[in-house]
Structure 1
Amino acid sequence: MVDNDDELQLDDLFEAIKRNKDQEHEAFYVYEQYLDSLRANKSNEEKLKILEQILKLECIEKAKANGLEEDRRKINLKWTTLKECGMLKRKVGHITEAIQCLDKANKIDENGMLYYELGLCHLENGNIFSVKTCFEKTISMCNEIFHWKCLDQLISIYYLLGNFTKSIKYISIGLNRSSMYRVGLLCLNLILRKQPSMKYLIDDTFKDFNGELVVLEDSDVNQFEVDIEHFKQNIFKLQNLPQEQQAIVSNPPTAISTFQDFGQYILKKMKEYSGLIA
């Protein structure tokens, strides 16, 4: 015979299971509404409101990757919702919240595209050290669908930091996938223009290259130099930097005279203010 306390516990258990199932159905129903909003081309703010409803549901908020089949649908929905939220929050300018969403999604399941989105968020904040870290992870993780845009930016970042060796390394990754990889060829030509001594490293890096390295027109390289300068300005948008970092970019020490020295100075200081160097 079941006593009253046991009956109450069973009732509570069944009620909790029913509530969980109801919330799960609601979560997927709301996600269908989100898909409808995509098809209807609703505003990003409207899409975010729908997605945030899903994340507030207890069954989704508490969902964890525990290997159980019954929880897999919920954790997959949670990951997808966090990813979509992060991307949308970046687009509407809520960068800190976007980073939080993407970080939570990465804790569930690391993904190269998530790191790319995180890199774009850090780019908005002018945190170049985190940008390159995220973009490097994207390149290393996106094997099946190669991320050319990420490679473009990573090559440009290392060029701007004066780390031509790393820039050449990533150029070689691109050119080994496509011998006509234009951004790689443009940057390679620009590096040779800025520092002719790098020719020895370039020759060694591409000694087994299947094809010839194309020398591009000066006008194309000139335009690329202008484009990369614009990219630099976007990275170091002073209004996006903390006050102490604004001084780093605006007033480097007078002892810094070369392109490479400036790049290494910026990187060192960004690391310090990120708490990565004691």
Structure 2
Amino acid sequence: MDAAEMTAAANAIPGEYYYGIHVDGQLISPDRINDFLAADPNYTHHDDLSDFLTAVQNGSIDNNWGNPGPDDNVQPDQINFSIMAPGTIFTMANEQYRYLENQGGGNHLIIRNDAIRGVHFTQKESAITNWYDSLSSEVRAMVRPVADNFVTGAINSSVLTWVNEANEEVNNSWLPTDINNFPDVANDVTQVVPGGTARAFSLSLADVVRLSGPGRAFPNSTERMSANNGHWFLRTGADAPNTAWFVRREFGGGFMGSHNWQMFDLVQGGPRPAIIVHQSN
């Protein structure tokens, strides 16, 4: 925001004053876009202005304007995370991701768009490590450190109070309303930890709750499933033997719950690794 303050010299001036900004609006004809973008010694154009005007001209303004399309396989330096909207799908160095949130300081939380299929629940950590090790060196160079070990807490879904997407109290496991009553679970929020380890990880229940809802990375239950309607595991612990948290694909999909992991269908889902990447521009 532009702000102005009067100096002390104005204190003795009687009356009132105001500060205004004059905006000069101009219509730009499509055939004169290049003229508008021409170098001007008195002004500096924003780096994304050309992409923005082209998108307006083509009628292609959406949540991902100024960035490649979801299936355009590009390198990290061809992506501008700072203008990416939550929930945007993009493909970077042969992997497709969903953009989750801007964490500030040039740090961005992203997640693999599809779960890693065919992985047993007990092998999820090694599968995530192997996936991370297989990423291109350019992508791994961007990854920020997180905690070496997460304090996840443990809770069963039956203990929580749930609401549906209309904010009605029902047992469909869209969002819990009382997660803050369980501090270990609620405080397990993924963020950059200086001195930690640059690595991939599973999201926590608290992460998914924070990222779910209109205008967020998971705006509805359908969008919360992994690609191809898959289920995926969370790292939050469950307070029962052989039980784990995951985002389900059954019953319309996208709901969360703690269930017996021995019943998971290996083909229908699996671990879904996330990373925090840093982009300085």
TM-score by length of 1: 0.31
More helix by share: 1
Considering only CA atoms, is the larger Rg found in Structure 1 or Structure 2?
Answer: 1
Ranked by relative contact order (alpha carbons within 8 Å, sequence separation 6 or more), the top structure is 2
